[in-house]
Structure 1
Amino acid sequence: MDYARSSFCLSDIKSIVIFRALLLGDLLCAGPAFLSLRAAMPQARITLVSLPWARALRSYMPGCFDDFIEFPGYPGFPERKMDPTRLPGFLREVQEQKYDLALQMQGNGYIANSLVAAFGARRTGGYYLPGQYCPDRELCMVYPEKLPEIWRHLALMRHLGVTVNNDRLHFHVPEEDSQALRELLKAHRIEQPYVCIHPGTNAEWRCWPVEHYAAVADILAAEGFQVVVTGSAAERERAQHVLEYMHSPAINLAGETTNLGVLGALIRDASLTVCGDTGISHLACAVDCPSVVVFMRSETEGWPPLDRIRHRLVCSISGVTEQMVIEEALDLLHLARAPYSGPATGISAISIFHQASI
């Protein structure tokens, strides 16, 4: 692909607003692009426009953002029901900042481009679909649908003239969250080594059956690992079903790790995480916890982890079996938890990105 570099001067940009009002995995996958942008424009003040939960990301993705503006919703975005009484005030707040650059990193731009154009920034970058509205022909690029999600945003950075050197996800766990985790583990008598089983996703059709997760968990328990089942408060019942199907004891922590940093610490310190196609899979990558990710029928091109050595993708047209997941899990557990050294081929993922997006 030929992504032309923009001719505008990066050093002239003093303020940037980024629109990405999505969920945890979506923000983590854009993290390498955020850090590349920061490195290229250290002088710029960067504001994130996102959903309320993302306000805390400044603590967990340090260096990426300086300010945060809550997104009140907009027609066509399912992530948040629009509050029409708040939309005029939101737009006024954004417009008053008179940003030098607005970046539409929400998606292909079919809906988002008209909204981001209304931010009133001096220039607008992002994605557009051929034949659809494009707010800035120089700084916007055709949406690279076939690239992995992480690389899509790095492709945009390169289009803007930003140097791209790293595609690894990152998530910083503050010490107070590590301490809170130690207290939580002590309260539930959880000791290392433990594994995390995360059976929920944000869409029912993405969920692998709980009895399959239970079968995998029993095998891991037989290997000597304590089993911790995780999830949100809304997923607690689903997590409890996993325990009911299991023959070995396990701990249900669904709903008890509402602090994102504590959840990150819990995953970071686990020997393995087994989950579906959800934000936890990206969090495991970001904190360097080996993982097995079960894909049902979602986007296996755009969303699986780039490192297929420490993070295993399991999918099958005929259905994912327990044995498929068990084999990958045991293989990961039998590998030494060594520092990341790149794919087995010796070719770094970022070098593949540069070749794939030329």
Structure 2
Amino acid sequence: MILVLRALGVGDLATGVPALRALRTAFPAEELVLAAPAWLAPLVTLTGAVDRILPTDGLTPRAWPGGSPELAVNLHGSGPESHRLLLSARPARLWAFRSEAAGVEGPLWSDEEHEVRRWCRMLRHFGLAPDETDLTLTTPLGYAPSAVTIVHPGAKSPSRRWPPQRFAEVARRLHDAGHHVVITGSPAEQDLTAKVAADAGLGPESLPATDLASLAALIAGARLLISGDTGVSHLATAYGTPSVTLFGPMSPARWGPPAHPRHQVIWHGTRSERGDLPGPDVHPALLAVTVEETLAAARQALLPAGPRSR
């Protein structure tokens, strides 16, 4: 058994796909178990690399699998907590970044590295050959392309949430230009999505009810996605869907999509800025993003640029 830890969110899973596929290729006969939140299961299935999810609550597994893994792989962080968690499963080997506190050898961690490249580099250190461009997810079965334009105003932290009135203005302008605009968000963001839709002059039909699988399918068949720096932007990358991603506290050099005309990024920050701001305020770099440049980026993303990936 290969036990892999990546107990994080949607974007984290999407950026870990090349590493997961490299492990699947290297150990085709071994069961590959991913320790991750249970709610991610619909997306984990779309990677085609994982045999089973071991549900976690944060960094706490509900139960370790029986028996000691042949190999444990830390795709979660630099340690020492995550290293020690995997060591508690008594694996024969542990692949991870170096941590003196946990007594683990491995390559050195770099804060400035892109998230996709980081885990691929670690696996190369241990002799694997991951493909950093292998980010594609399969489309959930039973869903047809809808060609909608998705505006996704939510994000996990307040510092990454562009003002809702600006999202509403973008949605209104795109609707007036002939786009079939829908507003998406998590169940906890229903008030936000309803406000954006109302302020954009859109009716209740612009607020589709989605679970994680249907949201992935909606993005896979969409005409365009406009969002902040949050998990859905990585799903647009996975499906080759034209996208505009608005960055605030985090540099796109660390979390942005691959350089491609279909994926436009807007960022007015500096490399010295790092991490979310505490409190309810929007990051100044995100506040500097205007409606007009967002619409211009949308037009650029929609220009012909070769076939979409699948």
**TM norm. shorter chain > 0.5:** yes
Q: Is the 8 A contact 2:151 2:183 kept in 1?
A: yes
One-letter identity of the residue aligned with 2:67: Q
SS of 1:99's partner is coil
C-alpha distance 22-222 of structure 1, shift in aligned 2 (>3 A): same
Measure, in 2, the Cα distance between the counterparts of 1:201 and 1:232. 9
Measure, in 2, the Cα distance between the counterparts of 1:304 and 1:250. 32
C-alpha distance 222-168 of structure 1, shift in aligned 2 (>3 A): farther
Alignment partner of 1:23 is 2:9: yes
Q: Is the 8 A contact 1:228 1:250 kept in 2?
A: no
Q: Is the 8 A contact 1:52 1:70 kept in 2?
A: yes
Q: Is the 8 A contact 1:229 1:250 kept in 2?
A: no
Q: Normalising by structure 2, what TM-score?
A: 0.87
Q: Is the 8 A contact 1:272 1:291 kept in 2?
A: yes
One-letter identity of the residue aligned with 1:287: Y
Superposed, which structure 2 residues align to 1:1-358 within 5 Å? 15-62=1-48, 64-74=49-59, 90=63, 93-94=64-65, 96-129=66-99, 131-135=100-104, 137=105, 140-176=106-142, 178=143, 193-247=147-201, 251-253=205-207, 256-258=209-211, 260-317=212-269, 319-333=288-302, 335-336=303-304, 338-339=306-307
C-alpha distance 169-250 of structure 1, shift in aligned 2 (>3 A): farther
C-alpha distance 244-202 of structure 1, shift in aligned 2 (>3 A): same
CA RMSD of aligned residues (A): 2.1
Deviation at 1:37?
Answer: 1.5
Q: Is the 8 A contact 1:193 1:270 kept in 2?
A: yes
- Tell which deviates more after alignment, 53-62 or 116-125: 53-62
Measure, in 1, the Cα distance between the counterparts of 2:167 and 2:205. 14
Deviation at 1:308?
Answer: 3.6
Aligned residues with identical type, % of pairs: 28
Residues 112-161 of structure 1 show CA distances to partners (whole Å, capped at 9, x for unaligned) of: 111111110001011235x53233x2xx2211322210111111111110
SS of 1:17's partner is strand
* Structure 2: 5+ residue stretches without partners: 270-284
Measure, in 2, the Cα distance between the counterparts of 1:113 and 1:336. 45
Q: Is the 8 A contact 1:292 1:314 kept in 2?
A: yes
SS of 1:301's partner is helix
Q: Is the 8 A contact 2:5 2:73 kept in 1?
A: yes
One-letter identity of the residue aligned with 1:121: P
SS of 2:292's partner is helix
Measure, in 2, the Cα distance between the counterparts of 1:110 and 1:314. 34
Measure, in 2, the Cα distance between the counterparts of 1:301 and 1:330. 22
Measure, in 1, the Cα distance between the counterparts of 2:224 and 2:112. 29
Measure, in 1, the Cα distance between the counterparts of 2:299 and 2:28. 44
One-letter identity of the residue aligned with 1:70: P
Q: Is the 8 A contact 1:20 1:105 kept in 2?
A: yes
Residues 263-284 of structure 1 show CA distances to partners (whole Å, capped at 9, x for unaligned) of: 1111111110000111000011
SS of 2:162's partner is coil
Measure, in 2, the Cα distance between the counterparts of 1:148 and 1:116. 24
Deviation at 1:97?
Answer: 2.1
C-alpha distance 221-18 of structure 1, shift in aligned 2 (>3 A): same
Residues 168-211 of structure 1 show CA distances to partners (whole Å, capped at 9, x for unaligned) of: 312212322x15xx7xxxxxxxxx54200000011121100011
Measure, in 1, the Cα distance between the counterparts of 2:103 and 2:111. 16
One-letter identity of the residue aligned with 1:61: T
SS of 2:156's partner is coil
How many residues align? The count is 292
Residues 55-98 of structure 1 show CA distances to partners (whole Å, capped at 9, x for unaligned) of: 33442111x11122112444xxxxxxx6xxxx6x72xx33x321
One-letter identity of the residue aligned with 1:55: A
Measure, in 1, the Cα distance between the counterparts of 2:43 and 2:218. 17
Q: Normalising by structure 1, what TM-score?
A: 0.76
* Structure 1: 5+ residue stretches without partners: 1-14, 75-81, 183-191, 342-358
One-letter identity of the residue aligned with 1:171: L
